[in-house]
Amino acid sequence: MISLLLASLFTLIELNCENLFDTRHDSLKNDTEFLPEGSHHWTRTRYWHKLNDIGREIIALGDDSAGWRLPDVVAMCEVENDSVMYDLTKRSLLRKARYEYLMTDSPDERGIDVALMYNPVTFRPLSHHAIRIPLLPDMRPTRDILYVAGLVGGGRPPPPYPLLVGEADTLHLFVVHAPSRMGGERASRPFRLQVVRRLITAIDSIRLLQPDAQIILAGDFNDYADSPALDSLYIHDMHNVSATARGANGARGTYRFRGEWGSLDQIICSLSVAGKLVDCRIGDLPFLLEEDEKYGGVHPRRTYLGPKYQRGFSDHLPLVARFNL
Domain annotation covers residue 325: no
pLDDT band at 2; cut points 50, 70, 90: very low
Domain annotation covers residue 33: yes
Structure confidence by residue, pLDDT tens digits, 66-119: 789 999 999 999 999 999 999 999 999 999 999 999 999 999 999 999 999 999
Domain annotation covers residue 177: yes
| pLDDT for residue 160 | 47
- Mean local confidence (pLDDT), 229-238: 98
pLDDT band at 64; cut points 50, 70, 90: confident
Q: Could you tell me which of 80, 68, 76, 73 has the C-alpha nearest to residue 99?
A: 73
Counting the structural domains of the chain, the total is: 1
| pLDDT for residue 306 | 87
| pLDDT for residue 161 | 44
Position with higher pLDDT, 28 vs 176: 176
CB burial class (10 A; 0-12, 13-18, 19+) of residue 7? Answer: exposed
Cα separation, 182 vs 185, in Å, equals 7
Domain annotation covers residue 226: yes
* Residue 140 in this model has a pLDDT that exceeds 50: yes
How distant, in Å, are the alpha carbons of 30, 143, 190, 192, 211 from that of 135?
19, 11, 10, 11, 30
- pTM of the predicted model as reported, rounded to 2 decimal places: 0.94
Provide the b/e sequence for 82-109 (b: ≥16 CB within 10 Å). Answer: eebbebbbeebebeebebbbbbbebbbe
Domain annotation covers residue 215: yes
For residue 53, what is the domain's CATH number? 3.60.10.10
Angle formed at CA 178 by CA 312 and CA 325, multiple of 5 degrees: 85
Q: Could you tell me which of 309, 299, 287 has the C-alpha nearest to residue 262?
A: 299
| pLDDT for residue 168 | 58
State which H helix or E strand residue 63 sits in: strand 63-64
- Mean local confidence (pLDDT), 192-198: 98
**Residues 6 or more apart whose Cβ sits within 8 Å of residue 27:** none
Bridge partners for 320 per DSSP:
13, 281
Average pLDDT of the chain, as a whole number: 93
First to last CA, the chain: 17
pLDDT band at 158; cut points 50, 70, 90: low
- Mean local confidence (pLDDT), 33-48: 97
State which H helix or E strand residue 52 sits in: helix 44-60
| Residue 17: domain span | 2-319
Position with higher pLDDT, 253 vs 161: 253
- Phi and psi torsions of 189, nearest 5°: -55, -45
| pLDDT for residue 169 | 87
